[in-house]
Structure 1
Amino acid sequence: MTDTVTTSPTSLVSAPAQQHRLPTKALLGLFLAGFISILTECLPAGLLPEMSETLGTSVSLTGQTVTLYALATALGAIPLARATATWRRKQVLQVALAVVAVTNALTALSSDYALTMVLRFVAGLGTGLIWPLLGGYAARLAPQGRQGRAIAIALAGTPIGLALGIPLGTLLSHLGGWELAFYAAAALTALSIAWVLVAVPNLPGRPVDSRFKISQVLAIPGLRPILFALATYMVAHNLLYTYITDLLAHEGMAGQTGWILFTFGATSVLSVLVVGAHIDQHLRRLMVSSTVLFGAGVLVLGEASGTLILVYVAVAAWGFAFGSSPSLFVGAAINATRDAADVAQSITITVFSASIAVGGFLGGLLIAGLGTTWLIWAALALLIAAAATVLGGKRYAFPRNG
């Protein structure tokens, strides 16, 4: 269906696979594409007060720039992957990155809320082209027997982008306004296009695989619990992450926002490094630990009552739990579906993006209707549901031998 991760050996072998070393430069290009995609998605979350003032809207309404972007990615991932399946892979990646670069620059120029929302939707469609592409592209570039490591490198841009998106946006906003953050994102995207042009081989596309229909894949034992756990986990994260600046201001810690977000980013990156070394042998244990640790961090955050050290501890736990979660959920989906892993990953990406959209939308409703503090307790309830699902999925979704 799409050029995504698959566990079938024949689908992972290509001409570049005759090499003995990983194509580091090419994989860096794929890493940058994933990093830019998620960086662009969550960038407004660190700029909400400033953007709200420019656009003449409330913080909750401005937060929907994240929601709409994620919604566009969710809606576009599967149909756009189908439409471009036979295109050469480099062309698809460069077109998508060009869309993101142009819309980021235009967003920086916009002072109109409606126009900004249209631009964010189009940018989200660009990301909808990128995400289903990365895993399979990396696998086809890698030597036989090293595809897993190649995929991990390519996909690492997503959690690192999630970890650093808001801190980078906040820092650049302090240096030169929220517009500078979007100009910088556009410039980085343009540099990535150049890197991809020079360093990434231009592999051919492949016809849509019609062996597995979406309904058939969803019926595979274990996949639906994985998707439910993913949805609840990601909605919980985005309830908090999209509105973290507003949440910290409500707690009287606006002046600590940069350092707190740096703490989140640092522990997220640490998580990627630590979990990446053990994911093949201990996926279930890591998945259980991730949901429980995230829930514990949120509980501490809710009980911190303005105590600075507890907020730092809670955010550090949250970042460490969350940093590797995309890899864990994608890995679980691939393990559960095997030959249908390509379709399963497209579905997983759609649920992932839709959950970001739901989290941003629901967070805006909670702030407007019940108050900022309710973000924490809604996230905790969702994480309890996620943890229960992971713990209960012993047979198919998150098996004991994983």
Structure 2
Amino acid sequence: MTETLPAGLLPQIASGLQISEAIAGQLVAVYALGSLLAAIPLTSLTQGLRRRPVLLTTIICFVVGNTLTAWAGSITVVLVARFVAGCAAGLAWGILAGYARSIVRADQTGPAMALAMVGVPLALSLGVPIGTFLGGLVGWRGSFLILSALSVVLIGWIIFKVPDAPGRTGDDRPSLRRVVATPGIIPILLVILAWMTGHNILYTYIAPFATAASVRVDLVLLAFGISSLVGIWIVGRLVDRMLRMLVLLAIGSFAAVAVFLSLIGGQGLAVYAAAVVWGLGFGGAGAMMQTASADAAGDGVDLAQAMVTTAWNLAIAAGGSLGGVLLTTGGTTLLPLAVAALAVAAFLIALAARRFAFPPGHRTPLTTDPTISSTSHPFLRKAAAPDDVR
């Protein structure tokens, strides 16, 4: 919500700070830049620290960033506050998946990450409309103060309810070079870059695309958001049994949607149907990619997740930039064509990465250490039989 809220408040922010809407839009961009630059170095530096204090520090930074944004009298202060909040977000994304895996049994790691990631489609689908709604009620400054207040409540809840987990120390701390060289990591990052760049081309410019198709953008986003929640529920139930199949189905359906939109040019009900299929595949994307990277990285899970965060934010920036060029060059008709090409590329990479990145079969937990995935190396993976589960 902290990341997406400004998009629904651009006119008010621009008027309040006496700047253009284009400059106000940089509140989203500078936040993503902070995440992009900070995710890997901050995650690496904090590997040895206990997880709960690190997570609490990131949320305190959200409180500070949102409060400064609400009270700021100049765009310079706002941009600095947003950059700091973005850096905190990069660290939070770097540790969340490993933290979620470390506080459950080994056979619950996949569903735990899917549940932890349920906030992603919620924020993507609700962040902009809630921002617009709150802005009408309490103004843009009040909207950011509400986020700060909610963050304070979240801090208290984490202190009293969320179990702590140890960091990694000494020889147990893998190096960045070692994690990058781990088989499967590079293909996973390439899939994220191609898939999410395509997604962000369409998602960033869904308003002009919907307008050209004569459909309501709010209803398209609602259809996308609801189906995303269904998608993440499906992934949470099935990710431990059929990760590879889920990944291929999600990317393949997205490619089919893009081809479909390219052929029909966006027509009424067809756009809503496409949004539903698109959301079903995207809803569990974060959980699937983080599960795959955590399995491949093993004890390098935190650094792997930081790389996932970096790739994700690169894709956001690339999608926005490339989509803008396409929109200026050839209008909305070029958007689904580019998306289709990127989705097909992501599908082919995932299809080829069968051995290490997206292996077939059941993710069978074979370790009692809850901080390490039992499937951290391909030779530990095997098809599950009832005796194996018991």
TM-score, length of structure 1 as denominator length: 0.78
2:251 pairs with 291, 294, 298, which one?
291
- Contact between 1:330 and 1:345, CA under 8 Å: does it hold in 2? yes
Cα shift at 1:58: 4.8
**Partner secondary structure for residue 197 of structure 1:** helix
User: In 1, distance between residues paired with 2:317 and 2:225?
Assistant: 21
1:358 pairs with 315, 318, 321, which one?
318
For 1:133, the aligned partner's letter is I
Please tell me whether residue 165 in structure 1 is matched to residue 127 in structure 2: yes
Cα shift at 1:149: 3.7
Q: Aligned in 2, Cα 1:209/1:316: closer, same or farther, shift over 3 Å?
A: farther
For 2:193, the aligned partner's letter is A
User: In 1, distance between residues paired with 2:290 and 2:136?
Assistant: 35
Q: Aligned in 2, Cα 1:96/1:375: closer, same or farther, shift over 3 Å?
A: same
- Report the equivalent of 2:233: 273
- Report the equivalent of 2:374: none
Q: Aligned in 2, Cα 1:306/1:396: closer, same or farther, shift over 3 Å?
A: closer
Q: Aligned in 2, Cα 1:165/1:401: closer, same or farther, shift over 3 Å?
A: same
User: In 2, distance between residues paired with 1:375 and 1:176?
Assistant: 36
2:93 pairs with 131, 140, 155, which one?
131
Q: Aligned in 2, Cα 1:87/1:218: closer, same or farther, shift over 3 Å?
A: closer
**Partner secondary structure for residue 376 of structure 1:** helix
User: In 2, distance between residues paired with 1:52 and 1:372?
Assistant: 27
TM-score, length of structure 2 as denominator length: 0.80
- Report the equivalent of 1:141: 103
Correspondence 1:136-285 to 2 at 5 A? 136-143=98-105, 145-173=107-135, 175=137, 177-207=139-169, 212-253=174-215, 256-285=216-245
User: In 2, distance between residues paired with 1:368 and 1:52?
Assistant: 23
Cα shift at 1:275: 1.8
Cα shift at 1:53: 5.7
- Contact between 1:63 and 1:242, CA under 8 Å: does it hold in 2? no
- Report the equivalent of 2:80: 118
Cα shift at 1:386: 0.9
User: In 1, distance between residues paired with 2:173 and 2:150?
Assistant: 39
Q: Aligned in 2, Cα 1:130/1:322: closer, same or farther, shift over 3 Å?
A: same
- Report the equivalent of 1:330: 290
User: In 1, distance between residues paired with 2:136 and 2:264?
Assistant: 27
**Partner secondary structure for residue 282 of structure 1:** helix
1:308 pairs with 246, 256, 268, which one?
268
1:89 pairs with 48, 51, 56, which one?
51
Cα shift at 1:70: 1.9
For 2:275, the aligned partner's letter is V
User: In 2, distance between residues paired with 1:140 and 1:399?
Assistant: 22
Q: Aligned in 2, Cα 1:307/1:223: closer, same or farther, shift over 3 Å?
A: same
Cα shift at 1:176: 5.1
Please tell me whether residue 318 in structure 1 is matched to residue 287 in structure 2: no
* 4+ residue runs over 6 A deviation: none
- Report the equivalent of 2:386: none
User: In 1, distance between residues paired with 2:183 and 2:167?
Assistant: 30
- Report the equivalent of 1:29: none
1:57 pairs with 4, 10, 20, which one?
20
1:61-87 per-position Cα deviation (integer Å, ceiling 9, x unaligned): 544433322221121112212333344
Q: Aligned in 2, Cα 1:370/1:46: closer, same or farther, shift over 3 Å?
A: farther
- Contact between 1:334 and 1:345, CA under 8 Å: does it hold in 2? yes
User: In 2, distance between residues paired with 1:340 and 1:275?
Assistant: 23
For 1:234, the aligned partner's letter is M
1:21-66 per-position Cα deviation (integer Å, ceiling 9, x unaligned): xxxxxxxxxxxxxxxxxx222333444555556563355x544433
Cα shift at 1:267: 0.4
- Contact between 2:235 and 2:287, CA under 8 Å: does it hold in 1? no
1:180-224 per-position Cα deviation (integer Å, ceiling 9, x unaligned): 543433332222122112222344544365663333332333321
- Contact between 1:167 and 1:262, CA under 8 Å: does it hold in 2? no
Cα shift at 1:101: 2.2
- Contact between 2:194 and 2:346, CA under 8 Å: does it hold in 1? yes
Please tell me whether residue 378 in structure 1 is matched to residue 338 in structure 2: yes
For 2:195, the aligned partner's letter is Y
User: In 1, distance between residues paired with 2:146 and 2:281?
Assistant: 29
- Contact between 2:209 and 2:332, CA under 8 Å: does it hold in 1? yes
How many residue pairs get matched?
361
**Partner secondary structure for residue 356 of structure 2:** coil
Structure 2 unaligned blocks of 5 or more: 363-390
User: In 2, distance between residues paired with 1:247 and 1:334?
Assistant: 36
- Contact between 1:89 and 1:203, CA under 8 Å: does it hold in 2? yes
Q: Which protein has greater RCO, CA pairs closer than 8 Å, 6+ apart?
A: 1
Identity %: 38
For 2:53, the aligned partner's letter is Q
Cα shift at 1:178: 4.7
Q: Aligned in 2, Cα 1:362/1:72: closer, same or farther, shift over 3 Å?
A: farther
- Report the equivalent of 1:14: none
- Contact between 1:155 and 1:327, CA under 8 Å: does it hold in 2? yes
**Partner secondary structure for residue 241 of structure 2:** coil
